[in-house]
Amino acid sequence: MKMKKVMTSELMSTKALDLLRDVRNLESDNLLAYVLNLYEKGGLVNVRDIVCTHTHSVKMRLLFGRKHFKETTKDGSLGPMEKEHFDAIFKALDCFFSFYIADYYSLFRGWNLQGEEVVLREAVDIIAKYNKMIIDEKIGLWRKNCDANKNVPKDWLDILFTLKDDKGKPLLTPEEITHLSIDLDVVGIDNAVNVIEWTLAEMLNQREILEQAVEEIDRVVGKDRLVQESDVPKLNYVKACIRETLRLHPTNPFLVPHMARQDTTLAGYFVPKGSHILVSRPGIGRNPKTWEEPLIYKPERHLTGDEVILTEPDMRLVSFGTGRRGCVGTKLGTYMIVTLLGRLLQGFDWTLPPKTGKVELVESKENLFMAKPLLACVEPRLDPNMYPKRRARLA
């Protein structure tokens, strides 16, 4: 309960999101500089790689106030430490969402029957090792500079350090901050990577969808400034494309398991107390009783009101969840995904590599990501002066 309150009232509050807006803008600028550098080297872009780089960089900035653990890279890509950290996050996520028999028969816990207990522990230890390295460093800096007027929070870690209980003592211990930092690392990062890659893949197979999204960006934003988070409410077609991707191409087959607290009846089925409930993401999003032509990618189906939102209270698709167990980072996730896709579409023309007919829309066997990373060619579509230079820190 304490951690949930910290997340909702401190880290994901409007005040905190506004405080860190410049940090997110910095990495949005760096994304364009990174892709432009790839264009100058040949024009072929690994979409999954650039989105992984961007999302990891944003999370690092938000959480720790920096992009790299130690040494920076010249081109803005992830360094060896960042790659190990990022790979560990995805290993942990694959374990979280996989079927594990010990979840249903507790007597098997600790036996490592499927090998996942060891894999998960190793992945979490790697994440914790790198996070603790920065946390310990920051604790030392805060202890040296105890003047509250000088210790202005610049990232989530700073905010966590400043929290006090009703007796004026630190609300969180260093161990609690480390564990919370691991949770913050793994939440949402897979969603952004999956959504952007599948959306661009569908757009490349249906050029009219890509062109309509670009036309909306040019109309709402123009070409004399870059897409900002403040543009998100007006980019309805872009958000409709993202909603359609969330519906048709969810990140994982199921939500995290839930348990029935009491006997209940759901859709005419009796569910006994203690039953494990697995919510099928594809089962909901591709349900022919809910959606016409459920296997066809049609963003227009979501243009039904004044403003398109990514949340779905009626559970016709799974985006950020809903109800008491819904994602507390819905607003941040919306900003990140829409701004990221908007910048990529605004800044570059996207085409398939030569001799490539269509993108193969095949799902991975491990999760619902694309089986092969999406490769595409890019070409700048804005005035050269519009592309930011890569920056290591805020001015």
On whether residue 366 sits in a domain, the answer given is no
On whether residue 329 sits in a domain, the answer given is no
On whether residue 46 sits in a domain, the answer given is yes
Mean pLDDT of the chain: 90
Q: Lowest mean pLDDT: which of 31-40, 61-70, 123-132, 312-321? A: 312-321
What is the torsional sign of CA 308, 313, 316, 319?
Answer: positive
pLDDT in tens, 211-228: 999 999 999 999 999 999
151 secondary structure, DSSP code: -
In the chain, the number of structural domains is 1
User: What CATH number should be reported for the domain holding residue 15?
Assistant: 1.10.630.10
On whether residue 219 sits in a domain, the answer given is no
Q: Lowest mean pLDDT: which of 29-38, 108-117, 357-366? A: 108-117
Q: Counting every residue, how long is the chain? A: 395
pLDDT in tens, 293-329: 999 999 999 998 889 999 888 889 988 766 666 677 7
Longest dimension (CA), the chain: 68
On whether residue 263 sits in a domain, the answer given is no
Q: Is the pLDDT of residue 112 over 90?
A: no
On whether residue 183 sits in a domain, the answer given is yes
On whether residue 7 sits in a domain, the answer given is yes
pLDDT of residue 99: 74
CA distance 380 to 219: 18
Mean pLDDT of 234-252: 96
pTM of the model as a whole:
0.92
CA distance 53 to 68: 11
pLDDT of residue 151: 59
Helix or strand holding residue 94 (H, E): helix 80-96
**How many H helices and E strands in the chain?**
13, 7
**Over 182-210, what HEC string results?**
HHHHHCCHHHHHHHHHHHHHHHHHCHHHH
Range of the domain at 26: 1-187
On whether residue 362 sits in a domain, the answer given is no
CA distance 90 to 51: 14
**Tokens coding 132:** 């603790």
Share of the chain above pLDDT 90, in %: 65
- Residue 249 binned pLDDT confidence (cut-offs 50, 70, 90): very high
